[in-house]
Amino acid sequence: MRLSAIHMLAASAAPVRAFVASAAPSVARFAGGSSGIFSGARQGLRGAVLASKARPVSRTMRMANSQRLGDPIGQMMDKTDVFIFDCDGVIWKGDSLIEGVPSVLDRLRQAGKRIFFVTNNSTKSRKGYKSKFDSLGLSVEPEEIFSSSFAAAAYLEQTRFKDTGKKVYIVGEVGIEEELDLIGVPHFGGPSDGSKGVELKPGFALPHDENVGAVVVGFDRMINYYKIQYAQLCINENPGCEFIATNTDAVTHLTDAQEWAGNGAMVGAIKGCTGVEPTIVGKPGPLMIDYIIQKYNVERSRICMVGDRLDTDVLFGANNGLMSILTLSGVTTEEKLLSPENKINPDYYVNSINDFFPFYT
Amino acid sequence: MRLSAIHMLAASAAPVRAFVASAAPSVARFAGGSSGIFSGARQGLRGAVLASKARPVSRTMRMANSQRLGDPIGQMMDKTDVFIFDCDGVIWKGDSLIEGVPSVLDRLRQAGKRIFFVTNNSTKSRKGYKSKFDSLGLSVEPEEIFSSSFAAAAYLEQTRFKDTGKKVYIVGEVGIEEELDLIGVPHFGGPSDGSKGVELKPGFALPHDENVGAVVVGFDRMINYYKIQYAQLCINENPGCEFIATNTDAVTHLTDAQEWAGNGAMVGAIKGCTGVEPTIVGKPGPLMIDYIIQKYNVERSRICMVGDRLDTDVLFGANNGLMSILTLSGVTTEEKLLSPENKINPDYYVNSINDFFPFYT
Ligand SMILES: [Mg+2]
Ligand SMILES: [Mg+2]
């Protein structure tokens, strides 16, 4: 309901609050009063109300210079060949599709844009995500989906882990298992260790496999002390054993009714007992974007990252030389975005990705 | 067996490696070549071999000036009214008493020294520890025992938590429950939530008590996602809710056969999903030492902290203006202590606390 209200707002004659360039005191201000990409140029709505939202552009003078007079949506579309969408909070919330999304994706494809979905959720494989997209009535190819479970496997491929003959210990769920199966890397742990405990009689040592060369830590609803200890033993006692985190999101949307502790908890547990910093293969690390650029031969500066989190999605864009759009349809409020404490600024922000096509609805 | 060998070394005519002042390039060096408190003064053993261990004293010129000529053990004893012993790795390892310890404690008491035991282990209360001491044949008073479970309760008393009428959510074991019972603070969670899970049907929100004013996180062998999520909700959603960590030790000795993931894992999990730094009531925080100084009216500079960890015990001493002795009978090797990477240096170090009385055995 909330989303359709916002959607109406965007489609109504009232000035829309959307696509506002971000605050950064030391950079150039817009010459004009309006910085909204939806500043109503087509309908002549630009002016007084949006002026109150005018903010300096943080990242590109180019944007600041060109945005004043033109059609910001059209300009953004012109500059973008590839849209990379975060999923949770952008496409869906928990198990609920965000209203209007299928139509937005269709129109982007019709406009010749390439689309990828990048999610830090590691509980599903690409194949698992394909089923989720299908069940929500969204038609996507598995190759368009970059989950952090896939990223973990891509990292192991890139680093020729298979050639070492070693195994992976998994703290995480089935998505990681399925992706490792696809690249032929032996693994154990994960769901199978979900109900294991430790015996604490004097003299007991938990045996661990010295041939584990990497511990992959993803979100794990069945996290327990056995897995934590097993991971600790591998990382601390197996020489050269890697600690790979699919992501470190503090919270996640298991359901859309509340925020749920995310993989930041599982990774924090393993960091806390080893003192080792993980290699992060998901956002905001560069791995997935480098993979897309290389595999699909696209130009970095013509990629736009669209997400609902400042510290993963927008940072992921900024770290990787992409354009970025924050959508308020997920975990980040406008208040948080615009607060002086926030140092991570997107190029634009929208209420939801429906705001990409406000004039056609 | 290893310990008795070390003990023989200490008591033998061979030069003992013990009580070595610490390395810090920018401070004064000893005038002489020997910095070993066991430099063999009584037996005339001082000289060549120990000279190779000569290191500058890090913290007090007083020590550097006085140590060269005298009887280091005697001096250390003369300067100390109170010994604070860490337990695991000093008094026992897991469930095994370290050989010779009862006699060392008896002799210290006979010499009029006050003794306290300070442990970051929160799984037992003071009362629970008293039983453990008893079972190992060590006669101590409950008031001599400062567990981090007690410290959590002492912190809540100090901050008048009871007056708020709020409750505590526990990630941890029975020690914290028992200590909170003693101060009359209502609590829940802990062992009772050890087998709880979360339902993940669409729309489900885990209900949480908005009257939780503090989450206390201690070592918890039954850590699970339910507890992590419950703690996250309290800390993130209850205004003013405190996050109290009994300690953040990376590893601990559940058994003496291997190192076990410590409360660093549980605290890391809660940090990782909240982004909040905890208040640490155990070592190396000041709470327990301030409590002892105030309650027993002892002089800070006449307290000597004896422990087996650099980053908790020795840092605890340094942070609190105490003398400190590292014992190699626990988790820290001499190699680690003396490595250039180590920046935390005790005033002295010993093989085990048996080295306090090498000439009488
Ligand atoms: Mg998201
Ligand atoms: Mg210890």
Which among B231, B255, B280 is the end of a domain? B280
Name beta bridge partners: B325: B306, B348
- The token duo for B33 is 């070549």
Give how far A129 is from chain B: nearest CA, Å: 17
Give how far A223 is from chain B: nearest CA, Å: 6
| Residue A282 confidence (pLDDT) above 50 | yes
Residues B236 and B309 in one domain: no
Q: Which residues contact B132 (CB under 8 A, 6 or more apart)?
A: B124
Q: How far is the CA of B323 from the centre of ligand 2 (A)?
A: 17
CB contact under 8 A, A261 and B232: yes
Q: Which residues contact A168 (CB under 8 A, 6 or more apart)?
A: A156, A161, A180, A185, A186, A187, A188, A212, A213, A214, A215, A216
Per-residue pLDDT of B128-165, as tens digits, reads 999 999 999 999 999 999 999 999 999 999 999 999 99
CB contact under 8 A, A225 and B228: no
Angle, helices A174-183 vs A148-158, to 10°: value is 30
Peptide bond into B346 cis (omega under 30): no
| Residue B65 confidence (pLDDT) above 90 | no
Is B171's Cβ below 8 Å from some Cβ in A? no
CA distance B32 to B29: 8
Instruction: Identify the nearest ligand to the CA of B148 by its number.
Output: 2
Residues B212 and B102 in one domain: no
What's the rounded mean pLDDT across residues A46-64?
Answer: 28
Mean of the per-residue pLDDT values of chain B: 81
Residues A272 and A155 in one domain: yes
The angle at the Cα of A199, spanning A193 to A200, to the nearest 5 degrees, equals 140
From the list A95, A203, A268, the residue facing B268 with the nearest CB is A268
CB contact under 8 A, B203 and A266: no
Q: DSSP letter string over A83-122?
A: EEE--BTTTEETTEEPTTHHHHHHHHHHTT-EEEEEE---
Name beta bridge partners: B270: none
Q: pLDDT value at position B359? A: 59
Task: Count CB-CB contacts under 10 A for residue A63.
Answer: 23
What's the rounded mean pLDDT across residues A133-162?
Answer: 95
Residue A318 domain-assigned (yes or no): yes
CB contact under 8 A, B223 and A225: yes
Weakest-pLDDT range from A100-109, B34-43, B126-135, B186-195 = B34-43
CA distance A336 to B335: 48
Residue B198 with chain A: CB contacts under 8 Å: 221, 254, 260
Weakest-pLDDT range from A70-79, B131-140, B276-285 = A70-79
Q: How far is the CA of B121 from the centre of ligand 2 (A)?
A: 9
Residue B100 domain-assigned (yes or no): yes
CA distance A215 to A343: 32
| Residue A16 confidence (pLDDT) above 50 | no
Which among A280, A305, A328 is the end of a domain? A280
- Per-residue pLDDT band for A71 (boundaries 50, 70, 90) equals low
Please tell me the pTM assigned to this model.
0.79
Q: pLDDT value at position A108? A: 95
CB contact under 8 A, B250 and A262: no
In this prediction, what percent of chain B has a pLDDT beyond 90? 66
Instruction: Identify the nearest ligand to the CA of B86 by its number.
Output: 2
Q: Which of B68-72, B255-259, B321-325 has the highest average model confidence (pLDDT)? A: B321-325
Residues A155 and A276 in one domain: yes
CA distance B189 to B167: 11
3-state secondary structure of A38: coil
Residues B334 and B360 in one domain: yes
Q: What part of A 226-265 touches B (C-beta under 8 Å)?
A: 228-229, 232-233, 236, 248, 250-251, 254-262, 264-265
Q: Which residues contact A61 (CB under 8 A, 6 or more apart)?
A: A27, A28
From the list B203, B258, B269, the residue facing A256 with the nearest CB is B203
Of the residues A71, A81, A209, A311, only one is catalytic, namely: A81
Residues B7 and B96 in one domain: yes
3-state secondary structure of B212: strand
- The token duo for A101 is 């999304």
Residue B55 domain-assigned (yes or no): no
Nearest residue of A to residue B248 by CA position? A272
- Per-residue pLDDT band for B10 (boundaries 50, 70, 90) equals very low
Q: pLDDT value at position A54? A: 31
CB contact under 8 A, B200 and A272: no
Q: What part of B 294-323 touches A (C-beta under 8 Å)?
A: none
Q: Which residues contact A211 (CB under 8 A, 6 or more apart)?
A: A165, A166, A167, A238
Which among B247, B280, B313 is the end of a domain? B280
Place of tokens 């009714």: A257
Residue B129 domain-assigned (yes or no): no
Give the residue, A229 or B3, on which the prediction is more confident.
Answer: A229
Q: Are residues B139 and B165 in contact, defined by beta-carbon separation less than 8 angstroms?
A: no
Q: pLDDT value at position B18? A: 34
Give how far B319 is from chain A: nearest CA, Å: 21
Q: How far is the CA of A357 from the centre of ligand 1 (A)?
A: 21
Residues A188 and A221 in one domain: yes
Place of tokens 């054993």: A241
- Please give the tally of structural domains in chain A: 2
- The token duo for B218 is 């201690």
Instruction: Identify the nearest ligand to the CA of A253 by its number.
Output: 1
- Its domain, for residue B233, covers 151-280
Which DSSP letter does residue B31 get?
S
CA distance B150 to B126: 7
Q: pLDDT value at position A307? A: 95
Residues B182 and B249 in one domain: yes
Residues B350 and B254 in one domain: no
Number of A to B CB contacts under 8 A, please give it.
141
Q: Are residues A328 and A2 in contact, defined by beta-carbon separation less than 8 angstroms?
A: no
What's the rounded mean pLDDT across residues B261-272?
Answer: 98
Mean of the per-residue pLDDT values of chain A: 81
Which DSSP letter does residue A152 get?
H
Residues A272 and A156 in one domain: yes
Q: How far is the CA of B148 from the centre of ligand 2 (A)?
A: 12
CA distance A245 to A148: 9
Residue B247, domain CATH: 3.40.50.1000
Residue A341 domain-assigned (yes or no): yes
Per-residue pLDDT of B174-228, as tens digits, reads 999 999 999 999 999 999 999 999 977 878 999 999 999 999 999 999 999 999 9
Q: Measuring CA to CA, which residue among B344, B288, B334, B317 is closest to residue B80?
A: B317
Residue B196 with chain A: CB contacts under 8 Å: none
Residues A203 and A262 in one domain: yes
| Residue A17 confidence (pLDDT) above 80 | no
From the list B203, B267, B274, the residue facing A272 with the nearest CB is B267
Q: pLDDT value at position A359? A: 59
Give how far B105 is from chain A: nearest CA, Å: 24
Q: pLDDT value at position A1? A: 30
Residue A289 domain-assigned (yes or no): no
Give this complex's ipTM. Answer: 0.78
CB contact under 8 A, B251 and A273: yes
Residue A137 domain-assigned (yes or no): no
From the list B221, B264, B273, the residue facing A250 with the nearest CB is B273
Q: Which residues contact A89 (CB under 8 A, 6 or more apart)?
A: A253, A307, A308, A309, A327, A329, A330, A331
CA distance A124 to A179: 9
CA distance B300 to B87: 21
Q: DSSP letter string over B125-152?
A: -HHHHHHHHHHTT----GGGEEEHHHHH
Residues B268 and B301 in one domain: no
- The token duo for B209 is 């008590």
Residue A127 domain-assigned (yes or no): no
> β-strands B323-327, B303-307: how paired?
parallel
Is B223's Cβ below 8 Å from some Cβ in A? yes
| Residue A33 confidence (pLDDT) above 70 | no
